[in-house]
A = this chain, B = another copy of it.
Amino acid sequence: MNRLLIASLDRFGPLREGVRERLSECALTSQTFEAGELVVPVGERSSLRLLARGLAVKQSVLKDGARQIFGVAAPGDLIDLAGLFVATDYEVRALAPCEVRKLGAREFRAMLQDHASLLAALCRAVLTEARAQRNAMVSLGRRSAAARTANLFCEIYWRQKTLGLAKDARCAFPAVQGDIADALGLSVVHIHRVLRGLRDDGLAVIKNGVLQILDWERLVALGDFDPEAFRPQIDEDESAAARRSAPLGAGA
């Protein structure tokens, strides 16, 4: 039951052995959400929530009703890192039916006190999130509408592919055009035009919540995509050393 959580934290590892045991003994509450439901509200205090299944977005709704999406969460992602020490400043909303596993706040905070390697893993997870955000900032600030869209499609596909969630150049992306618009700082109408452009040019198609990559190379070139921006920020030396001393990483 906790294997996924441990494997996910291990992505940002190395986790010391004591933590794994302790984590595997923890009670996780599992919750499911329908598409469109609010998974984490703004102002929530974090309790280490893991997205186990489905897709969700981290977003903020502005005073004037506009929305900005900060990132898309895939299975294995910790979705309330922003609330680690204070209340979250964004909300999480399900894009598709989701399963979320949650560690109690008290238990979680107690573990943080005892286990530095857990804190280190979380720190790396936050760094990874920050890096992905910087990629999005480049898109928002300096890339054309088509390039932004291509970059987002590359991200969505690439991340799911590394999780084994893509096949035949297809993966899930159950976002409506309004979601894509709010992720890329564009209008719905314009997103529609860009989408048609990508389809006409044979780069990618999105249909019925499924993203199909037609020409990966050209999509990467158009979107200036760098997979490095989404790699977990693990320390190569340290993690290699840890793997030697404690063989067997709980595979993803």
Contact = CB atoms under 8 A, between A and B. Distances in A.
A236 interface: yes
Contacts of A156: none
Contacts of A224: 62-63
Contacts of A178: none
A89 interface: yes
Contacts of A236: 86
20 contacts: A60-B134, A82-B127, A82-B130, A84-B124, A85-B127, A85-B235, A86-B236, A89-B228, A89-B229, A112-B120, A116-B116, A119-B119, A123-B126, A126-B130, A129-B130, A133-B134, A133-B137, A137-B137, A140-B140, A141-B182
Given A68-B137, A84-B124, A123-B123, 20 more contacts: A60-B134, A60-B138, A62-B142, A68-B142, A70-B137, A84-B123, A85-B124, A85-B233, A85-B235, A116-B119, A119-B119, A126-B130, A130-B130, A130-B133, A137-B137, A140-B140, A140-B141, A140-B185, A141-B182, A142-B185
A184 interface: yes
A172 B86 CA distance: 30
Contacts of A90: 134
Quick one: copies of this chain in the complex?
2
A171 interface: no
Contacts of A134: 60, 70, 89-90, 133
- Chain B CB within 10 A, most for which of A63, A119, A224: A119
A134 to B, nearest CB: 5
